[in-house]
């Protein structure tokens, strides 16, 4: 049954209570925390598994399904085509504003089928996409951020490039005998019983990171937005069993990094998504448009970055002298590892040398508070994370050292990975394809 009977709109005043609850500071650390119990991104995958009648094999941990009031499938089996479209950087706050701005009936329809949820921590693509593909939290699957130390390799790894952080190439670690299990503690749900198709950018197919995400899935590559729309329609129209399609779109994240999270840029991309799905609805026809369930969500939002408030960690002499290895993690959530026996000294150096407003948290406290997720933990969790988590204030960031050649990241005007509500909260938009298309796109008789 398609999710056409979603709850009433939650992008207006009714959303205030939910948004405040999801973004509030809590626990002994006084920090927001992802709602892994049933209102977070990986819970969606557990709901998809249940809707498809799939029980993950191997006894690997999965998080519970979405809370009952959020479940797009209402606890029932889903018999028609099912599309999970993850839009990189599609944060809740700009989405809610877009859904309410102007008289556009399609925007209002998207708002009427939307609820806020959280992503995972760190609020970054490698951790979140792996959580979506495994139905598990970062503490369980082990992809803990943009970069992290891997004890078995004896070096820190850039998870998107699947290369040592100090090297500029891509997939340097992906040798002929490389396997996703060398990095990820859990296989993707496609390798554990879920029959699915991954629709991703053509250039990503075969990369080490995509092999982790989509192990066991059929891979289909697109080149442009129109190509993605064309391929999505073709997949929905396939004869045989109704497909389960995980699709990805990345251009909003790219432009927000480069230009900052600006309203006009978000609105352009959101309207583009509506156009994309409207084309698909028109292409597949009214019967399939009504029987296809679409869930649109995101891996994180973004916050504005002040280039003058970025701290080069390698230029802090006392901190650098106490580090066992360069900082890993990301600009908005840095991981710091002390030399043997010097954790206390590193903690003092971080507190004294970082500017006011930078939060220094012992990593054991962050793990205990559940920021990275519940047990059962990846066996290398503590070693991959190090001794301290540092969270910059609004606009601030951390840089491990000078940029790699050709890197644009020091000049970013938008970023994520931290625990600001703008980074943490994302929309869960669910309905039939006909519900989310422009009026008339799926008109006609079956």
| 172 in any annotated domain | yes
Same domain, 74 and 51: yes
pLDDT above 70 coverage of the chain, percent: 94
Give the model confidence (pLDDT) of 37-95 as tens digits: 999 999 999 999 999 999 877 677 789 999 999 999 999 999 999 999 999 999 999 99
| 139 in any annotated domain | yes
Domain containing 254: what range?
15-303+422-436
**What kind and span of H or E run contains 435?**
helix 433-436
- What confidence score (pLDDT) does residue 156 get? 98
| 444 in any annotated domain | no
Give the model confidence (pLDDT) of 158-186 as tens digits: 999 999 999 989 999 999 999 999 999 99
| 217 in any annotated domain | yes
**Residue 4: pLDDT band with limits 50, 70, 90:** very low
Same domain, 109 and 194: yes
Mean pLDDT of 426-442: 93
- What confidence score (pLDDT) does residue 405 get? 72
| 381 in any annotated domain | yes
Give the model confidence (pLDDT) of 207-263 as tens digits: 999 999 999 999 999 999 999 999 999 999 999 999 999 999 999 999 999 999 999
Same domain, 239 and 309: no
Q: CATH number for the domain including 377?
A: 3.30.1360.180
C-alpha 100/C-alpha 91 separation (Å) is 15
- What confidence score (pLDDT) does residue 129 get? 98
| 443 in any annotated domain | no
| 223 in any annotated domain | yes
Same domain, 353 and 218: no
Residue 8 has pLDDT above 50, yes or no: no
Q: What count of residues does the chain have?
A: 446
**Residue 15: pLDDT band with limits 50, 70, 90:** confident
Residue 31 has pLDDT above 50, yes or no: yes
Same domain, 177 and 51: yes
Same domain, 232 and 343: no
Give the model confidence (pLDDT) of 389-429 as tens digits: 999 999 999 999 987 776 656 679 999 999 999 999 999 99
- For the chain, what is the mean pLDDT? 93
Mean pLDDT of 144-165: 96
CB 194 within 8 A of CB 49: yes
Same domain, 250 and 264: yes
Same domain, 47 and 170: yes
**HSE, side-chain direction, 13 A CA sphere, residue 424:** 24
Q: pTM for the full model? A: 0.94
- What confidence score (pLDDT) does residue 1 get? 40
**Among 141, 67, 35, which residue's Cα sits nearest to residue 421?**
35
Give the model confidence (pLDDT) of 83-125 as tens digits: 999 999 999 999 999 999 878 899 999 999 999 999 999 999 9
Which residue carries 């094999």 as its tokens? 57
Domain count, the chain: 2
Same domain, 239 and 330: no
Mean pLDDT of 268-291: 97
**Residue 341: pLDDT band with limits 50, 70, 90:** very high
Mean pLDDT of 346-360: 97
C-alpha 313/C-alpha 323 separation (Å) is 10
Same domain, 33 and 169: yes
- What confidence score (pLDDT) does residue 35 get? 98
Q: CATH number for the domain including 74?
A: 3.40.720.10
| 4 in any annotated domain | no
C-alpha 189/C-alpha 207 separation (Å) is 18
C-alpha 406/C-alpha 399 separation (Å) is 16
* Angle made by CA atoms 72, 112, 227, in degrees to the nearest 5: 70
Mean pLDDT of 257-275: 96
Task: Read off the DSSP letter of residue 57.
Answer: G
Same domain, 203 and 237: yes
**Among 22, 3, 207, which residue's Cα sits nearest to residue 123?**
22
Same domain, 410 and 299: no
Backbone phi and psi for residue 72, each to the nearest 5 degrees, phi listed first = -65, -20
């Amino acid at each position: 049954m398609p999710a056409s009977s979603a709850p009433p709109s939650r992008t207006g005043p009714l959303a205030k209570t939910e948004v405040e609850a999801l973004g509030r500071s809590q626990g002994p650390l006084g920090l927001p925390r992802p709602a892994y119990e049933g209102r977070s991104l990986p819970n969606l995958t557990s709901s998809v598994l249940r809707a498809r009648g799939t029980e993950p094999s191997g006894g690997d941990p999965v998080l519970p399904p979405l809370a009952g009031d959020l479940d797009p499938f209402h606890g029932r089996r889903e018999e028609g085509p099912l599309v999970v479209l993850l839009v990189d950087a599609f944060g809740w706050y700009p989405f809610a504003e877009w859904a309410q701005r102007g008289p556009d009936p399609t925007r209002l329809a998207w708002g009427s089928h939307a609820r806020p949820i959280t992503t995972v921590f760190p609020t970054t693509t490698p951790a979140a996409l792996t959580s979506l593909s495994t139905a598990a939290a970062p503490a369980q699957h082990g992809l803990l951020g943009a970069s992290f130390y891997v004890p078995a390799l004896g070096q820190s790894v850039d998870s998107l490039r699947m290369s040592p952080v100090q090297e500029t190439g891509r997939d340097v670690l992906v040798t002929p005998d490389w396997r996703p299990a060398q990095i990820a503690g859990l296989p993707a749900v496609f390798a554990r019983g879920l029959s699915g198709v991954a629709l991703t950018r053509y250039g990503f197919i075969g990369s080490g990171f995509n092999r982790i995400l989509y192990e066991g899935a059929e891979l289909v590559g697109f080149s442009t937005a129109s190509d993605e729309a064309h391929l999505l329609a073709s997949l929905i129209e396939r004869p045989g069993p109704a497909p389960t399609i995980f699709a990805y779109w990345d251009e909003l994240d790219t432009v927000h990094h480069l230009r900052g999270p600006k309203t006009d840029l978000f609105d352009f991309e959101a309207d583009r998504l509506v156009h994309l799905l409207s084309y698909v609805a028109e292409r597949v026809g009214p019967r399939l448009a009504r029987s296809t369930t679409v869930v649109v969500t995101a891996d994180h939002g973004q916050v504005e970055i002040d280039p003058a408030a970025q701290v080069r960690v390698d230029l802090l002499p006392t901190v650098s002298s106490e580090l066992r290895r360069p900082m890993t993690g990301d600009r908005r959530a840095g991981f710091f590892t002390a030399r043997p026996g010097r954790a206390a000294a590193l903690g003092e150096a971080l507190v004294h040398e970082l500017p006011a407003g930078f939060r220094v948290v012992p990593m054991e406290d962050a793990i205990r508070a559940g920021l990275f997720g519940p047990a059962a933990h990846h066996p290398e969790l503590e070693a991959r994370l190090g001794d301290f988590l540092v969270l910059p204030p609004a606009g601030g960031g951390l840089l491990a050292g000078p940029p790699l050649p050709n890197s644009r990241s020091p000049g970013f005007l938008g970023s994520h990975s931290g625990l600001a509500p703008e980074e943490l909260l994302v929309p869960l938009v669910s309905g039939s394809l006909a519900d989310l298309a422009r009026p008339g796109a799926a008109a006609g008789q079956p």
